[in-house]
Amino acid sequence: MRAELLARVKQADHSPLIDGDTAVFIHRGAARRVEIVGDFTGWRPRRLALRKVRNHDIRYFEAQFPRAARIEYKFIAGRRWIEDSLNSRRVDNGLGGTNSYFTMPGYRESPTSSAFEGGPHLERLIVQNSTPDSRRVVTVYLPPGYTTSGEDFPVLYLQDGTEYIARGFAAAIAERSIKRGEVRPFIIVFVDPRDRMREYWASDRFADWIARDVVPVIDGRFRTIRDRDGRALLGASLGGVASIWTAIKYPNLFGRVGGQSSSFWIDRGRVINSLAELPGPGSLPFRFYFDVGRIEGADTHRRVADTLNRKGYPLTYREAWTGHNWSSWRDRLAEAYQALWQ
């Protein structure tokens, strides 16, 4: 069996070789040591060194993955982090530059997770309060029918807005989902942080800005449903934490909140503890949506989901065999929209 594998490795013109639940990564070159890192190592070196084929400048690494997995990875050749030169499938996910990626035979991309030509209607809007340095620009998506119906629409406040537009195809996915009748029409306000690590770290000041400055501007400019049931918050990673924190701080304004791969680990679980202290849907009728990639680790998300379920909150919770990246969040975004606007 080993001889057969080595023969395939020597002849291979692409990487990885996929067979059932096994992937064989291949590197050609004179590097003395090559290591693999990726979603499955938490993007930390774990001494997963490729084995050298005797008398050849070829190295390989064999690993098993779930059949529904999508994996991003790189090689470390010497001290250089490089893409797999035998893999033409690459993606810039905004997290660590360009990565190589592959999918196992059972992986299925969401049918709505792509952009389309022309694009949905977006407009830029200035948010300015009394402080001179408070001027910011948000981007607003208006759904089909907004200009003709005369109706009021619910609003989703989406963190890391520029990234969600460019990498998450958030406006395109909303447009397609609405046109298919999978979700009711809604407005999206794409918000960007100035200092992401500070503002998205469960910051009261950022929550205040969303609640006191952004919401009044949006309600004053557009036809919105102006109650907590008509407002939702959503974000990825630290953006998920910022969304949850803002909802907890302003439960009178927001009744729906979601997070994709939320960074629940910050401050020794401060956000988790705040969720655990919620009185229950009788007093604060939140609707929650959370998702996470199993490859990045789902234990904390499962504990949060269990806590909210025991309290009786409406919750949609999803896991997939993916990592912590925009492709994963894009794949699950249509379902997040549907869950939040149930």
Structure tokens at 37: 């890192």
The confidence score (pLDDT) of residue 119 equals 66
How sure is the predictor about 289, in pLDDT bands with cuts at 50, 70 and 90?
very high
Q: Is the pLDDT of residue 17 over 90?
A: yes
How does pLDDT run across 5-15, given as a tens digit for each residue? 888 999 999 99
Position 288: which residue type?
F
Q: What is the pTM of this model?
A: 0.92
Taken as a whole, the chain contains a residue count of: 342
Q: Are strands 256-260 and 136-142 parallel, antiparallel or unpaired?
A: unpaired
User: Taking a C-beta distance cutoff of 8 angstroms, is the pair 254, 288 a contact?
Assistant: no
Mean pLDDT of 286-302: 97
* CA 20 – CA 18 distance, rounded (Å): 6
Cα three-residue angle 186-188-193, rounded to 5 degrees: 160
Mean pLDDT of 46-57: 94
The confidence score (pLDDT) of residue 94 equals 76
Q: Which residue has the tokens 């809604």?
A: 186
The confidence score (pLDDT) of residue 135 equals 81
Q: Dihedrals φ, ψ of 156, to 5°? A: -105, 125
How does pLDDT run across 98-145, given as a tens digit for each residue? 999 999 999 998 876 666 555 688 999 888 775 555 688 999 999 999
Sign of the torsion formed by the C-alpha atoms of 206, 336, 113 and 121:
negative
How sure is the predictor about 267, in pLDDT bands with cuts at 50, 70 and 90?
very high
How does pLDDT run across 168-195, given as a tens digit for each residue? 999 999 999 999 999 999 999 999 999 9
How does pLDDT run across 196-247, given as a tens digit for each residue? 999 999 999 999 999 999 999 999 999 999 999 999 999 999 999 999 999 9
Distances (CA, A) of 277 to 44, 203, 220, 242, 258: 34, 18, 33, 17, 18
